[in-house]
Chain A
Amino acid sequence: MSVVGGLAVAGVVLGLGRTIAAQPRLRQWRDQILNNAGLFPQWKFYGPDPIGLDIHIVVRDRMEDGRPHAWHALLSPDVRSPWAFLWCPGKQLAATWDWYCDLILGPHLRADSPVEGYSIGYLAILRHCMTAHPRTPGASRRQFAIVHSFGREDRTLEMAFISVEHPW
């Protein structure tokens, strides 16, 4: 047995042990980076409690005279192409939306604590909402909301979060 080979096997065994230790919970940002990179990944495909809902992001402008403008959908789940088993680029950003929304709502849902107002998720969604939809002429402020929908034909909607109004 070569020294390099022996060291490589020992390193792999240690790496697998580290992966097992990382399973219960990613405690720090460093763990999250190692998980993202697939070095010591956390494996839990659709467990323990997958969330059976769709996320929608809507924005609304407030006019200078105080009247609210209509809500506009900025993100709605797409109708998936029948070729999605070969080509499905939308899923790359869907995971990011889920993560941002979880950063805003997660602490609240898990610990009944106040909604996290200025997390990275909040800032990223706010920034996107301010730039991705054209400003209504005469508008002075904008707010966004996270809406959850459940089901298909018998769809129900639930307003999960409404941001404060942000000036332009």
Chain B
Amino acid sequence: MDLAALAAGLRYSGLAIGLWSLLSTLEWFAQLRAFAPGGLLAWDVLALRPGRLYQNDWAQKLYSPTGMIAILSVRLAAALVLLVAPGPQTALLALTATIAMSLLMALRLPVSDGADKMGMVAACGAALAAAGVLRQDWMLGFAGVLWSSGQLALAYVMSGYVKLISRGWRDGSVLLPIMSTHSQGAAWAARAVAAVPRLALPFSWLVIVTELLFPLALMLPFAGLVTVLAFFALFHFAIACIMGLNTYFWAFVATYPSVVILSTVLRRSLGLG
């Protein structure tokens, strides 16, 4: 495995990170009113959270509505740079800006979704990979690969585990109530689950088992690994269509090049190919 593979992986990851960040940032721009005084995310109330961090004067200025526009603008510019598939130096700059602005937002917001967390994981991993390519240091780049693919494997395994210990997931009874909500489900999906209730049980177990067994995919030959990753990408796309969680797809797909690189390294070191 050489630096060229790292650079190629970085280009694909950068593109997906750019799309995740672009969508997420534009969606926050569409909700800018929430940051204004009296809005749902007004700083005067959120600054009451425990921690000295929130009581600083700089936080007051940075997290004003004007400050939020500045943070989102820098994040938007960095996303656009990533979308034009820049070289490693520019990519590193854009990724650093994405990470810094996402961190500032994470401190500002009371809660973040899984896509933002995975997007941040992918951005940190890609930044390390870009630094590795720039310094011609394979091991530094590999640290980024390990971070992205390790967190992805943890995300799937832990999600599978917490579902496995849930009775509702084991007997498939959680699906219909979720699909029946307006906020998380879809009318056609709820009708489908209600019409064929026997499908809920195997579907639940399909999700649990595939999430739990994801790390084994790292040992598969290239074609098998790509098939597994395509299955998970399809899974995230279906979630985007059914639940409106559109940024998850790009955030998760951004880590897949790292999984391919890690799998190749693992298989070679174990003499499997």
Question: Residues on A close to B: CB < 8 A?
Answer: 1-2, 4-6, 8-9, 11-13, 15-16, 19-20, 23, 29-30, 33, 35-39, 41-50, 52-55, 77-80, 84-100, 120, 123-124, 127-128, 130-132, 150-152
A152 touches B174 (CB 8 A): no
Could you tell me which residues of chain B, from 143 to 195, have a CB within 8 Å of some CB in chain A?
Answer: 143-144, 146-147, 150-151, 154-156, 158-159, 161-163, 165-166, 168-169, 174, 176-178, 180-184, 186-187, 190
CB distance from A59 to the nearest CB of B (A): 14
A123/B48 contact (C-beta < 8 A), A38-B102, A49-B166 known: yes
A92/B246 contact (C-beta < 8 A), A45-B159, A80-B182, A150-B180 known: no
Given A43, A85, A87, A98, which contacts B154 in the complex, CB threshold below 8 Å? A43
B63 located at the interface, meaning its Cβ lies under 8 Å from any Cβ of chain A in the complex:
no
9 contacts between A and B (CB under 8 A): A4-B137, A5-B132, A8-B144, A45-B159, A47-B163, A47-B166, A52-B177, A95-B112, A127-B38
Best-buried of A52, A86, A131 by chain B (most CB within 10 Å)? A52
What 15 additional pairs, Cβ within 8 angstroms, besides A90-B244, A99-B110, A124-B45?
A: A4-B135, A11-B143, A13-B146, A36-B107, A37-B112, A41-B155, A48-B162, A54-B182, A54-B183, A77-B181, A77-B183, A91-B245, A96-B40, A123-B48, A150-B180
Q: How far is the CA of A140 from the CA of B163 in the complex (A)?
A: 48
A36 touches B111 (CB 8 A): yes
Chain B residues with CB under 8 A of A150: 177, 180
Q: How far is the CA of A105 from the CA of B261 in the complex (A)?
A: 45
B38 touches A131 (CB 8 A): yes
**Looking at the complex, which of B7-15, B26-34, B87-95, B219-227 is the stretch in contact with chain A?**
B26-34
A-B contact count (CB 8 A): 232
A85/B241 contact (C-beta < 8 A), A36-B106, A52-B181 known: yes
Chain A residues with CB under 8 A of B142: 5, 9
Chain B residues with CB under 8 A of A86: 246
Q: How far is the CA of A19 from the CA of B165 in the complex (A)?
A: 20
Question: Residues on B close to A: CB < 8 A?
Answer: 23-24, 26-28, 30-31, 34, 37-42, 44-46, 48-51, 53, 102-103, 106-107, 109-114, 116-121, 124, 128, 132, 135, 137-144, 146-147, 150-151, 154-156, 158-159, 161-163, 165-166, 168-169, 174, 176-178, 180-184, 186-187, 190, 237, 240-241, 244-246
Give the nearest-CB partner of A78 in chain B. B182
Q: How far is the CA of A37 from the CA of B100 in the complex (A)?
A: 10
Chain A residues with CB under 8 A of B169: 47-48
Chain A residues with CB under 8 A of B241: 84-85
Chain B residues with CB under 8 A of A43: 114, 117, 154-156, 158-159
Best-buried of B49, B51, B138, B181 by chain A (most CB within 10 Å)? B181
